A and B are shown apart, each in its own frame.
Chain A
Amino acid sequence: MCFQQKMIHSLFLINCSGDIFLEKHWKSVVSQSVCDYFFEAQEKAIDVENVPPVISTPHHYLISIYRDKIFFVSVIQTEVPPLFVIEFLHRVADTFQDYFGECSETAIKDNVVIVYELLEEMLDNGFPLATESNILKELIKPPTILRSVVNSITGSSNVGDTLPTGQLSNIPWRRAGVKYTNNEAYFDVIEEIDAIIDKSGSTVFAEIQGVIDSCIKLSGMPDLSLSFMNPRLLDDVSFHPCIRFKRWESERVLSFIPPDGNFRLISYRVSSQNLVAIPVYVKHLISFKENSSSGRFDVTIGPKQNMGKTVEGVVMTVHMPKAVLNMNLTATQGSYTFDPVTKVLAWDVGKITPQKLPNLKGIVNLQSGAPKPEENPSLNIQFKIQQLAISGLKVNRLDMYGEKYKPFKGVKYITKAGKFQVRT
């Protein structure tokens, strides 16, 4: 009988053309051929996004994620929590992103030794060891152009030779001895609106996915508390481990010793319909005539309640039906492209000015002889509104304890479209 193997046995990185470009085995070597089951599923799924995340094979399970055009395929052998594996794989991808600036095949191949060292450091016998970027960076220094030049001259290495201090403290996310000349703390309140709008323009579903991303460069061991004008908005929140949960429960204040650098402080969800304002409306007329191999397309986008802020960065993408051959459209603003292979129409609108609403109008040509498409395409809208958190969330104040200096503080708000779809 096979020995018990907890967690991830092996990891394969596979690019979109199906090449395995990196493999790492934490125990015995598993043959690449196990990936054939993955390729089979990939073929069946047609679209890369549709490959199921858990695949069973006669002797193993393959749990995969798809990130930045790379499949991270892990091989496991016994019962493990799949979320555990998926979370870990995302953490691996995050770490690559953090170390190399991008999580791409080239970046990984260029830094293969560091990648190997990282993977070894992150997982031991299936137990995640160090996944906090702060700790990893003390163990294995990220590559920089300067360092590799210095290393090659002095012969020193990119491996830290002392034990990271944070690893065992009660605040594993922060390293000791942080020093900055300029002490700064920035918070970005980013809200994304997920919505489904039906044909008639009424909202089927809408919610806000918000996050507060922080960039904290403070010396020493600062202890921060962040309070809100309207903390009651936040009733469904996920916290970074640094946040003291008790304090939040009793006082609705975020109290924490922050990690050093960039991190996500909280993420939250506002689902109560009346709090979710929809900042744009779309007027649309898409129709195909019976037996005429052509159709009409007419879409106008306008601003709704935008609280005096400009809606910008507006982009509309539409997956047109397969029968569409090409489109002859005129845009009053911005430019559009239609890809006859993928049938994707993309209209880059830019900023919306209420005086002159952007409109895209014209003729859709169908393949001759093709039947009239049954389904009308959904419109996918992207937009951005600066200096506004659409839920109304507002930071009240930030206080710092434990250190003497006066930090520079800043809060920025931005609202974006998440999965924002208009059915036609």
Chain B
Amino acid sequence: MTDSKYFTTTKKGEIFELKAELNSDKKEKKKEAVKKVIASMTVGKDVSALFPDVVNCMQTDNLELKKLVYLYLMNYAKSQPDMAIMAVNTFVKDCEDPNPLIRALAVRTMGCIRVDKITEYLCEPLRKCLKDEDPYVRKTAAVCVAKLHDINAQLVEDQGFLDTLKDLISDSNPMVVANAVAALSEIAESHPSSNLLDLNPQSINKLLTALNECTEWGQIFILDCLANYMPKDDREAQSICERVTPRLSHANSAVVLSAVKVLMKFMEMLSKDLDYYGTLLKKLAPPLVTLLSAEPELQYVALRNINLIVQKRPEILKHEMKVFFVKYNDPIYVKLEKLDIMIRLASQANIAQVLAELKEYATEVDVDFVRKAVRAIGRCAIKVEQSAERCVSTLLDLIQTKVNYVVQEAIVVIKDIFRKYPNKYESVIATLCENLDSLDEPEARAAMIWIVGEYAERIDNADELLESFLEGFHDESTQVQLQLLTAIVKLFLKKPTETQELVQQVLSLATQDSDNPDLRDRGYIYWRLLSTDPVAAKEVVLAEKPLISEETDLIEPTLLDELICYIGTLASVYHKPPSAFVEGSRGVVHKSLPPRTGSSESAESPDAAPSAGQAAEQPAVIPAQGDLLGDLLNLDLGPPVSGPPLAASSVQMGAVDLLGGGLDSLMGDESEGLRSDVGGSPAMGGSGFTAPGPAAPAAMGAPLGSGLGDLFDLTGGVGTLSGSYVAPKTVWLPAMKAKGLEISGTFSRQVGSICMDLVLTNKALQVMSDFAIQFNRNSFGLAPAAPLQVHAPLAPNQSVEISLPLNTVGSVMKMDPLNNLQVAVKNNIDVFYFSTLYPLHILFVEDGKMERQMFLATWKDIPNENEAQFQIKDCSLNADAVSSKLQGSNIFTIAKRNVEGQDMLYQSLKLTNGIWVLAELRIQPSNPSFTLSLKCRAPEVSQYVYQAYDAILKN
């Protein structure tokens, strides 16, 4: 007898029939009927119409029947809230049942019924269950608090459940502790500012004890919670690590990965000289490798995480190359990930093996995989210089196979190899040219054209080759068109006599017959350049190109550090911070690795040093935002940069001056060969990241987007409480983008003066000096009121804190976003550009309090369409606290009224440029969301005023 019989009711009047059976007197029949209802539910049939009948079956002493009814209730209570109330009495009664199983079942089910009305009945039973003598009930009740918090957070706080939950962390039963931790973490996630999981050495100790005793799932919750703790010194970090390492041998891979996260994070605090550091490194490799023998789905997640770990600490897995070799029956998603990691681990020691494998893969069936394998060979050549020759010959072998997509892929990577090792492998050009006709993908065509243009002087029939492409110019993709234009101009500059006609032709195709603005602009620039000053043209177009970097698709160090804190989560699978993609993640707190506290700090900074060194070797770094550069170049930045390694860059600068502007597409030209790299092959150094350079720091500088900024930096802001709210410092200019100079900062306002508080850190290997700073024109005329004073040269690994006074008398230009500030910083090495967003409240002046009468008049006077409404969510302050908090940042309360239990605050503020903003803030005592209405004659500032409000109130 099986359950499939429950599916075989007659179609006609099914619901009706069930209804009759549910109301039967016979217990057995009732039970069968409920089972039928459940069976229908499992296949997604709507049986909600039976709600009252099923609920009627609830009062029974048959446990199975009770459970079935509860199952049903959980599914449908939300759609039938009024009916759900009918069940409440039984729930309350069941919470008192002598059988702990029933008590737990009742409190658990009640929590699952997401109906507001039910919550008030839930409080008393829940309170009792949280203190139940039976740990099974307590542990279930702990989870129920989290559920209730979802439905009504305020209620949970008012009823003091959070404190009870905190007490449960000290419970004698490890299962209860684990569930309490899980519940608290979940609540804390939606309330980042509340200090719920107040971790201190004592509570950490309790968690570590519970870790050994609770279930595997509990261990995951505890480990994830531990990862948020900040040990006070390296000794504490080490002792926690020691107690976490046994988890690496757990059979549950999620436990293993959570343990890895804790270790990776705390390892940051350990000195590399410590013996323990080496021991820990050794211990991390085997569990990671073991994850790769699990089911393919687990492997995939593990590989995505290993990809991060390998970037952060390549030494852990450097001897484990072979486990990443691809098996032919691996799923494709595993194959592609393994390939990526193989490249990251490739080194001189293992390159022969890796190449042999890659060559094997290049003959496999799956097209995507083969392409990636071919590309990987190119990446090996660029990464390991000693192998370049072998890689090139392998690629030539592959080209000989004449398999179309292999050939195209090979040509794309060979172009990068040329960039990396100029004047070394050009002998293969002839072979490449043979395959010209078979190229049908834009990327491969563009690569080939680049090669022909770049080496035009060595290819006898370069003009013929390029001419042949020109015939179908309009059918080509933009990428190819741009490349063709540049290549022909290069050819012309190299062999001017024979190719005049060709260059005329391409220039007119680009400028007259094309609808593409990029193409037209570039065409015009070349045209003008060639006609006014051919020498300059030569310097620009044939300028020495910056070297491309060895490592490719590296994740930016700051992002990498953040992602390391998210090992094992979705963020680690997508390699994006959670704030970037999780829905409703408004409250996500940015996590960061703890600073190293070891004794040998000055010699350390192991992560920044190699990359900074690498950056310093590059002759030029091209800022990604051309127009920013254009504007800033007109500013006087002191003596021009000089020195032999910078020759290329000063040539460029010169060229730029010559053009006077619109160098946008010229910059595009230089990076064109590089831009075509998207998709995994080597990109260039400075601006090779996919995100446009300055955009990243700008996003981080946004006071709202980053929430709290850095959890651990909170203490930094305490000292300045007397003035306006000061956001924690964020990194504006990462060292990677500025040859080792890292700039972080924030804005503050104290007694009428605005300051930009900066920390300059030298992460390069050379001393930095001669600092200067300039702002671009901006919306409120912000400008430095004094020169940037750095008294002594900045030695490697040294930081200096500077408070730069600002005024608002600079020239004004409206920016988008309004509070965008573009900054240029110069030192003895180069000039760097970044942009950041400043919080608007630094512009709120001290005399922003308006007269009451004046306020009323102005409020009426400003047209209604200028009014903007915003919600400030999750703020638990009362009206008076709000008022005094805002006053600290020069937002003045003019009047307070109480209307129907709501507090209304009327406020005013004035910006440095004299713009008045009037505000009405509505606070309901039971609702954590405030409503803010703003009226202003310049309504475009409203949004930024709201952001300032939000930031001030939440901190």
Interface residues of A (CB under 8 A from B): 1-6, 20-29, 32, 45, 47, 49-50, 52-54, 56, 59, 61, 64-66, 77-84, 86-88, 90, 109-117, 120, 124-128, 131-132, 148-149, 152, 155, 157-159, 161-163, 167-168, 170, 172, 194, 196, 198, 204-205, 207, 209, 235-241, 245-246, 249, 264, 267, 269, 271, 319, 321-322, 374-376, 378, 380, 419, 421, 423
A45 to B334 Cα, complex, angstroms: 13
Q: Which residues of B contact A25 (CB under 8 A)?
A: 75
A77 to B190 Cα, complex, angstroms: 14
A84 and chain B: residue at smallest CB distance: B254
User: What 6 additional pairs, Cβ within 8 angstroms, besides A239-B249, A378-B328?
Assistant: A87-B298, A109-B4, A113-B6, A120-B74, A196-B325, A419-B329
A58 and chain B: residue at smallest CB distance: B583
A82 and chain B: residue at smallest CB distance: B301
Q: Would you give the shortest CB distance from B192 to chain A, in whole angstroms? A: 12
Q: Would you give the shortest CB distance from B155 to chain A, in whole angstroms? A: 14
Is A23 a contact of B112 with CB atoms below 8 Å?
no
Q: Would you give the shortest CB distance from A367 to chain B, in whole angstroms? A: 16
Is B38 a contact of A113 with CB atoms below 8 Å?
yes
A132 to B301 Cα, complex, angstroms: 24
Secondary structure at chain A's binding surface: helix, strand, loop or mixed? Answer: mixed
A54-B300, A83-B254, A124-B143 as given contacts; A375 in contact with B6, CB under 8 Å: no
Q: Which residues of B contact A249 (CB under 8 A)?
A: 246
Interface residue count on the B side (C-beta < 8 Å): 114
Is A235 a contact of B286 with CB atoms below 8 Å?
yes
A236 to B322 Cα, complex, angstroms: 16
B720 within 8 A of A: no
Q: Would you give the shortest CB distance from B714 to chain A, in whole angstroms? A: 22
A4-B584, A168-B135 as given contacts; A79 in contact with B254, CB under 8 Å: no
Q: Which residues of B contact A52 (CB under 8 A)?
A: 300, 333
18 contacts between A and B (CB under 8 A): A4-B190, A23-B43, A27-B114, A65-B295, A87-B298, A113-B35, A120-B71, A120-B74, A127-B143, A157-B62, A168-B175, A170-B174, A196-B325, A235-B286, A245-B249, A264-B251, A421-B327, A421-B329
Q: Would you give the shortest CB distance from A20 to chain B, in whole angstroms? A: 7
A110 to B250 Cα, complex, angstroms: 35
A23-B43, A113-B3, A205-B322 as given contacts; A61 in contact with B570, CB under 8 Å: yes
B243-275: which residues lie under 8 A (CB-CB) from chain A? 246, 249-254, 256-258
A125-B147, A237-B249 as given contacts; A117 in contact with B569, CB under 8 Å: no
Q: Would you give the shortest CB distance from A317 to chain B, in whole angstroms? A: 10
B494 within 8 A of A: no
Given A2, A64, A204, A271, which contacts B584 in the complex, CB threshold below 8 Å? A2
Q: Which residues of A contact B357 (CB under 8 A)?
A: 204
Is B583 a contact of A56 with CB atoms below 8 Å?
no
A246 to B242 Cα, complex, angstroms: 12
Q: Which residues of A contact B252 (CB under 8 A)?
A: 87
B925 within 8 A of A: no
B808 within 8 A of A: no
B101 within 8 A of A: yes
Is B43 a contact of A22 with CB atoms below 8 Å?
yes
Given B43, B101, B134, B254, which contacts A87 in the complex, CB threshold below 8 Å? B254
Is B571 a contact of A168 with CB atoms below 8 Å?
no
A22-B42, A124-B143 as given contacts; A267 in contact with B63, CB under 8 Å: no
Given A78, A87, A380, which contacts B583 in the complex, CB threshold below 8 Å? A78
A19 and chain B: residue at smallest CB distance: B43
Q: Which residues of A contact B582 (CB under 8 A)?
A: 78-79
Is A83 a contact of B568 with CB atoms below 8 Å?
yes
A72 and chain B: residue at smallest CB distance: B297
Is B136 a contact of A127 with CB atoms below 8 Å?
no
- Chain B 338-381 near chain A by CB (<8 Å), digits 1 or 0: 00000000000000010011001001110000000000000000
B68 within 8 A of A: yes
Q: Which residues of B contact A167 (CB under 8 A)?
A: 136, 175
B332 within 8 A of A: yes
B950 within 8 A of A: no
Q: Which residues of A contact B286 (CB under 8 A)?
A: 235-236, 269
A110-B4, A124-B140 as given contacts; A77 in contact with B43, CB under 8 Å: no
- Chain B 98-130 near chain A by CB (<8 Å), digits 1 or 0: 011100000010011010000000000000000
Q: Which residues of B contact A45 (CB under 8 A)?
A: 332
Q: Would you give the shortest CB distance from B75 to chain A, in whole angstroms? A: 6
Closest 4 CB pairs of A and B: A110-B2, A157-B64, A236-B286, A53-B297
Is B293 a contact of A194 with CB atoms below 8 Å?
yes
Q: Which residues of A contact B329 (CB under 8 A)?
A: 380, 419, 421
Is B296 a contact of A49 with CB atoms below 8 Å?
yes
B253 and chain A: residue at smallest CB distance: A83
Q: Would you give the shortest CB distance from B775 to chain A, in whole angstroms? A: 37
Q: Which residues of A contact B569 (CB under 8 A)?
A: 79-82
B173 within 8 A of A: yes
Is A86 a contact of B298 with CB atoms below 8 Å?
yes
B462 within 8 A of A: no
Most B Cβ at <10 Å: residue of A45, A59, A245: A245
B856 within 8 A of A: no
A163 to B175 Cα, complex, angstroms: 15
Q: Which residues of B contact A240 (CB under 8 A)?
A: 251
Q: Would you give the shortest CB distance from B24 to chain A, in whole angstroms? A: 14
A152 to B289 Cα, complex, angstroms: 51
B298 and chain A: residue at smallest CB distance: A86
Most B Cβ at <10 Å: residue of A83, A88, A131, A196: A83
B39 within 8 A of A: yes
B302 within 8 A of A: yes
Q: Which residues of A contact B302 (CB under 8 A)?
A: 83
A64-B297, A167-B136 as given contacts; A269 in contact with B249, CB under 8 Å: no
Is A236 a contact of B570 with CB atoms below 8 Å?
no
A246 to B212 Cα, complex, angstroms: 11
A318 to B571 Cα, complex, angstroms: 39
Q: Would you give the shortest CB distance from B8 to chain A, in whole angstroms? A: 11
Given B217, B331, B401, which contacts A128 in the complex, CB threshold below 8 Å? B217
A152 and chain B: residue at smallest CB distance: B1
- Chain B 29-45 near chain A by CB (<8 Å), digits 1 or 0: 00100010011011110
A3-B150, A194-B293, A374-B401 as given contacts; A81 in contact with B333, CB under 8 Å: no
Is A4 a contact of B75 with CB atoms below 8 Å?
no
Most A Cβ at <10 Å: residue of B99, B139, B175, B327: B327
Q: Which residues of B contact A1 (CB under 8 A)?
A: 584, 586, 873
A4-B189, A152-B1, A155-B28 as given contacts; A109 in contact with B67, CB under 8 Å: no
A124 to B151 Cα, complex, angstroms: 16
A4-B584, A110-B2, A158-B64 as given contacts; A204 in contact with B39, CB under 8 Å: no
A65 to B186 Cα, complex, angstroms: 25
Is B190 a contact of A112 with CB atoms below 8 Å?
no
Is B327 a contact of A196 with CB atoms below 8 Å?
yes
Q: Would you give the shortest CB distance from A297 to chain B, in whole angstroms? A: 18
A12 to B74 Cα, complex, angstroms: 17
Q: Which residues of B contact A66 (CB under 8 A)?
A: 297
A321 to B535 Cα, complex, angstroms: 58
B1-24: which residues lie under 8 A (CB-CB) from chain A? 1-4, 6-7
Is B99 a contact of A53 with CB atoms below 8 Å?
no
Q: Which residues of B contact A27 (CB under 8 A)?
A: 112, 114
A21 and chain B: residue at smallest CB distance: B43
Is A163 a contact of B251 with CB atoms below 8 Å?
no
A54-B300, A167-B136 as given contacts; A423 in contact with B147, CB under 8 Å: no
A126 to B220 Cα, complex, angstroms: 13
Given B147, B216, B258, B573, which contacts A82 in the complex, CB threshold below 8 Å? B573
Q: Which residues of A contact B955 (CB under 8 A)?
A: none
Is A112 a contact of B38 with CB atoms below 8 Å?
yes
Q: Would you give the shortest CB distance from A374 to chain B, in whole angstroms? A: 6
- Chain B 274-305 near chain A by CB (<8 Å), digits 1 or 0: 00000000000011011001011110111000
